[in-house]
Chains A and B, each alone.
Chain A
Amino acid sequence: MAISVEHFSRTYTTATGTVPAVDDLSFQVSAGEIVGLIGPNGAGKTTTLRALAGILRPTSGHVRIDGHDLVAEPIEAKRRLAFMPDEPHLFEYLTVAEHLRLVARLYAVEDFERRSRALLGELELTGKEDSLPAELSRGMRQKVVIACGLVRSATTLLFDEPLTGLDPLGIRRMRETIASRAREGAAILLSSHLLHLVEEVCTRVMIMDRGRKVADGTFDELRARAELAQAGSSLEQIFLRVTGHDIPSGQP
């Protein structure tokens, strides 16, 4: 299993006490699968993705990437991972080409020159190789982050709102890129509020609410569930029903 999460919990300490962000979450993602992670604000999606990326340590539970525990074997696990956050964090003093070069060095990417050239073309960054992040639009910076994630042969791709800041053409290309990586055998976990994207791209969907998993399955499986069947056939309707935000018929 490419991604294996077992009883993962994460709490935050605030001035008022301890707040659970994710509570006893377990799921798996296989190679070639694209799993959509959806949920209302504060559901724990980003916390889950950040824990999977090795940024946050689980308070309890285990996260494994290709069988490597992220806490016990962080280097082996991280080598197989690519995390594309919603907010593009780049080094303000490195150019686009230098970001790719740095990533290639850290992940020991073979045939880096060819791969980066192809990626820059695929993500429409050709001609921007020598630009600093401050000289790029937000969408362009997002593409640089994605290029850094895709330049290596990661077996597990984590996307947090991958379409933020992209133009319509960029969105289309991004969808194709995600699908093609899955076809090549990558396990993909994608968090987004754009339900139509999730519906279109993902093979399975996982719904979180208040730090817990409240639904998990393919669209057909979710539609077939008795209590959700009444909600309707679209993911949006299912999502609203599962999270308790659906509006009963007859009400404005």
Chain B
Amino acid sequence: MLGASLYIIGCSARNRVRARLRRLREPRYLIGAIVGAAYLYFSVFARMGRRGRRAGPRGGPSAATLEALRSGAPAAVGLALLAATAVGWLLPFDSGLLDFSQAEVQFLFPAPVSRRSLLVHRMMRSQIGILLGSIIPALMVQSFSGYARLRISIATWLILSTAKIYATGVSLARTRLTSRDARARRVAWLPLTVLGSACAIVAINLLRAFRAAPPDGAREAIVRIGSVVSHGLPRVVLWPFVALAAPLFAPWPGEYLVAMLEAALVMAVCVAWVLASDATFQDAAEEVAARKAQQPGPRAVKYRARATGWDLAPSGRAEVAFAWKAAMQTLRVVDIRSFVRVAAILVLITVSSTAFGRTSGLPAIVGVFALAGAGFAVLMAPQILRVDLRQDLKHLELLKTWPVRASAVVRGEIAWPGGLLTVLAWILIGIALVLSSANFSRVPIGVRLDAAGAAALVAPALVFAQLTIHNGVALMFPAWVPLGSQRARGLDAMGQRIIMLGGTWLLLAIMTLPGALAGAVVWFAFRAIVGPLALIPGAIACVVVLGLEVLAATEALGPLYERMDVLSVERTE
């Protein structure tokens, strides 16, 4: 199986590289690759060079701090690894090592190979991603020599590989915690018990050390953590975690090599633990195979059939049908009760912030968060919430057979995400207004009310304008838009995303300009008559202009939708 695994990995890597090089013949990929390479150069390598030139006696931490970090860092990182290890049992994450591709399920599962070999195969396949992940931190570390970067990469690789294998072990053991077989149950509980005891021992000792006298600054805290975990029982229980972290900080050559040996030993124990879960692996792998067969496609979202309280009327505008469809998509993932709970929590936070009074500082903090959240909901969320044509392009074959005006399709597609983000923005603007006295006490309440009203008016216009741009871009350049949850990989794909983002922002600026100008003119005209209240007619003027632009844009996008070829919608690798 080892040979077959290497063959699959080798062929896949070679063919992927070939395909990516071949697609550079197309201008959009070539441009994407150039932009991606430029971004990578200026954000990583150029900065590295600048840092290297800047490094010197001018700045940086003191020698004492560096020494404290050097001696205490392995223990601190080891402690963090212990915490992460414990969290791994509590949260429903898995390593993805059991997530076999459909081809692997079809070819390898029926093949005469042991489940253990399959697991080894998956471990080997995951190495390319882990290796890339190991190189990046080493590149980001400033003023290090090439050899030092290599050593850091190897140490990071050991930690990431062990983490991935350990997470798989947790996934496998978790399924057996409630097994009917008493022996299997005991075996599954054993590592959890050992880990729980280790956490308790370390926590008690740290509490004792820190309760005696609070540390004076971060340096002393690191030194004290180092001192606690390098003595007695904490040292014993933390050893595997500190051993894994040690190569990151050990000096070359002697200490580094010894640390590497110890870390490799920890990894070997993890591998042995996972391989010992052979029987469980069989069940888990079969479950994954069944799931894959039912839900083709990468990382399929799990929808739940439940009543949503919105039944589509058999007749009416097509736009509403599209909005309803998108609403079902959201509500089949997120229960409507969750929305109510979030709203209740927001109200509770606002009321408690008001009740605690201005002096507590809480209203100011919550107010700032609400403002920032409103800004995010209006300016960034339309890029993230893709419950529109950007996702529906994968259903284009079906959509194209429907007798619906193309402009109605576009308007219907943006109606639900636009409405949802508008409500979110309004809630956050409302919270910011309620708590505004904490941050803007010098601004009269009347002005604050006017400003909040104007913001609430402009918010939906900006949201819908952005969604129109995103959907327009999806129609004009469908091959650049990832379908659903798919993500194209590679330098060229990264460059394409950067170009798309820049283009979208530029278009938004251009689209907003007439509305902003109209708003400014109206505000200026009314300011002398009604004072700060002029913000409201100014906002209305801006909204009217932007609204007309959105309507005109959706009409203009209609012919594009009609002409759009299903074949231009590209599936990612």
Contacts and interface: CB of A to CB of B under 8 A. Distances in A.
Contacts of A196: none
A108 B315 contact: yes
B316 A12 contact: no
B305 A135 contact: yes
B25 A75 contact: no
Contacts of A50: 397, 566
A102 B312 contact: yes
A91 B395 CA distance: 8
A109 B303 contact: no
A55 B328 contact: no
A101 B318 CA distance: 12
B332 interface: yes
Interface in A103-142: 104-109, 112-113, 130-132, 134-135
Contact of B404 (A53, A75, A81): A75
A98 B563 CA distance: 29
A79 interface: yes
The list of the 3 closest CB pairs from A to B, nearest first, reads: A78-B403, A79-B403, A93-B332
B395 A89 contact: yes
A113 B314 CA distance: 9
A57 B567 CA distance: 11
13 contacts: A15-B25, A50-B566, A55-B396, A55-B400, A74-B403, A92-B301, A92-B303, A98-B328, A106-B318, A106-B321, A108-B315, A132-B332, A134-B303
B398 A89 contact: yes
Contacts of A135: 305
B397 A91 contact: no
A78 B314 contact: no
Nearest to A74: B562
A47 to B, nearest CB: 10
Contact of B315 (A85, A102, A105, A132): A105
B402 A130 contact: no
B401 interface: yes
A106 B320 CA distance: 10
A81 B312 CA distance: 22
B328 A106 contact: no
A55 B402 CA distance: 10
A107 B403 contact: yes
A95 interface: yes
B193 interface: no
B302 to A, nearest CB: 8
Given A107-B402, A108-B315, A132-B304, 19 more contacts: A12-B567, A50-B397, A54-B400, A55-B396, A74-B403, A75-B405, A79-B403, A81-B401, A85-B397, A93-B333, A95-B305, A101-B314, A102-B324, A102-B325, A106-B318, A106-B403, A107-B403, A113-B314, A132-B303
B567 A105 contact: no
Contacts of B22: 15
B413 to A, nearest CB: 13
Contacts of B324: 102
Contacts of A85: 397
A78 B401 contact: yes
A81 B360 CA distance: 67
A112 B314 contact: yes
Interface string B370-406: 0000000000000000000000000111101111110
B359 interface: no
Interface in B551-573: 562-563, 565-567
B338 interface: no
A74 B315 CA distance: 20
Contacts of A54: 400-401
A91 to B, nearest CB: 7
A109 to B, nearest CB: 7
A161 to B, nearest CB: 15
A7 B367 CA distance: 67
A15 B294 CA distance: 33
Q: Is the interface of B mostly helix, strand, loop or mixed?
A: loop
Nearest to A152: B403
Contacts of A75: 403-405
A105 B403 contact: no
Nearest to A55: B400
Interface in A150-207: none
Nearest to A149: B401
Interface in B28-64: none
Nearest to B392: A91
Interface string A7-42: 000001001000000000000000000000000000
Contacts of A132: 303-305, 332
A98 B401 contact: no
B411 to A, nearest CB: 14
A105 B397 contact: no
Nearest to B304: A132
A137 to B, nearest CB: 9
A221 interface: no
A76 interface: yes
Nearest to A83: B401
Nearest to A107: B403
B403 A101 contact: no
A56 interface: yes
B178 to A, nearest CB: 25
A214 interface: no
B295 interface: yes
Given A55-B400, A57-B563, A102 B321 contact: yes
A89 B403 contact: no
Contacts of A77: 403
A94 interface: yes
Nearest to A85: B397
Contacts of B300: 92, 134
Contacts of B318: 105-106
A91 B405 contact: no
Interface in B223-256: none
Q: Which of A76, A85, A89, A113 has its CB near the most chain B CB atoms (within 10 A)?
A: A89
A55 B403 contact: no
B301 to A, nearest CB: 8
B314 A104 contact: yes
Nearest to A92: B303
B325 A53 contact: no
B313 interface: yes
Contacts of B329: 91, 93
A101 B300 CA distance: 25
Contacts of B313: 105
Nearest to B295: A134
B328 A94 contact: yes
B40 to A, nearest CB: 27
A111 B312 CA distance: 15
B328 A53 contact: no
A105 B402 contact: no
Contacts of B404: 75, 106
A131 B305 contact: yes
Contacts of A91: 325, 328-329, 395
A49 to B, nearest CB: 11
Contact of B566 (A55, A79, A93): A55
Contacts of B325: 91, 94, 102
Contacts of A55: 396-397, 400-401, 566
Interface string B286-315: 000000001100001101110000011111
B565 A57 contact: yes
